[in-house]
A and B are shown apart, each in its own frame.
Chain A
Amino acid sequence: MLHIINKSPLGNNSLDACLRVAASGDILLIEDAVYAATKGNAMEGKVREAMSRLKIHILLPDLEARGLADRIIEGVAKVDYGGFVDLVAANKNCQSWL
């Protein structure tokens, strides 16, 4: 399934909760959640660890808006708005972790 996160990992526990329960599938980081996929963030270790069992994607326009497009963790997949739609269509269901 597809998990969608839109909250900063250091201001909210949505990503933590998702990583705790999700065993496999796709995670899409959008809005303030894109900070989780940047090098040097305190969540970097947990994100890297999760990448062994989950495919992590980020919405690139949201990372560009925040001035961090050059700091993405290797192996995180960048998607645009069309890619967002493709991910939703390719998965049988999705959950937005509000």
Chain B
Amino acid sequence: MNEVKKFLFVNRKAPYGTIYALESLEVVLITAAFDQDVSLAFLDDGVYQLKKGQQTKGIETKNFSPTYRALDGYDVEKLYVEKESLDARGLTEEDLLVDVTVLGSREMGALMDEQDVVLSF
């Protein structure tokens, strides 16, 4: 039971339009509390979750983007973003509100391969 497993959270949805991004974040924090080896992957519209400058006052919804910056306080420090997804959205690493590792598609695939558990949002 005390065996540490490698967990990967795969985030492919934009924030706010659906509840997936926020729910993923909740489960990430729970998993981290159990001292597991946690990584987060952002691809497709999931890269929008990390966009700087989110201002949600106008839609009267909680802006949860600052939480990504707090993840290192929970020892969640491995954030991976797919380069092809950034490119298709006109985004660069400088547009993101946290430090990430940018991976090509095949490297992202290899990261998924090496996990014990993959949770998809």
In the bound complex, do residue A60 and residue B48 qualify as a contact, i.e. CB atoms below 8 Å apart? no
Closest Cβ–Cβ distance, residue B26 to chain A (whole Å):
19
Residue of B54, B59, B63, B65 contacting most chain A CB atoms (<10 Å): B59
CA distance A11 to B88 in the complex (A): 12
Interface size range of chain A in the complex: 20 to 34
In the bound complex, do residue B90 and residue A40 qualify as a contact, i.e. CB atoms below 8 Å apart? yes
Chain B residues numbered 14-54 whose CB sits less than 8 Å from any CB in chain A: 14-18, 44-45, 48, 51-54
Query: Which of the residues A11, A31, A65, A80 comes within 8 Å of B55, measured between beta carbons?
Result: A65
Chain A residues numbered 50-97 whose CB sits less than 8 Å from any CB in chain B: 60-62, 64-71, 80
Which residues of B sit under 8 angstroms from A71, Cβ to Cβ? 90
In the bound complex, do residue A66 and residue B54 qualify as a contact, i.e. CB atoms below 8 Å apart? yes
CA distance A84 to B45 in the complex (A): 25
Closest Cβ–Cβ distance, residue A58 to chain B (whole Å):
12
Known contacts being A11-B45, A35-B45, is A66 close to B88, with CB within 8 Å? Answer: no
CA distance A39 to B58 in the complex (A): 22
Query: Which of the residues B45, B53, B88 comes within 8 Å of A67, measured between beta carbons?
Result: B53
8 contacts between A and B (CB under 8 A): A10-B89, A35-B14, A42-B89, A44-B90, A64-B56, A65-B16, A66-B48, A80-B58
Chain A residues engaging chain B, CB cutoff 8 angstroms: 6-8, 10-11, 31-32, 35, 38-42, 44, 60-62, 64-71, 80
New contact pairs (9) apart from A35-B14, A67-B55, CB-CB < 8 Å: A8-B14, A31-B16, A32-B14, A38-B89, A65-B56, A66-B51, A67-B52, A68-B51, A70-B53
Chain B residues engaging chain A, CB cutoff 8 angstroms: 12-18, 44-45, 48, 51-59, 61, 63, 65, 88-91
List the 3 closest pairs (A to B, CB-CB), nearest first: A40-B90, A61-B58, A32-B17
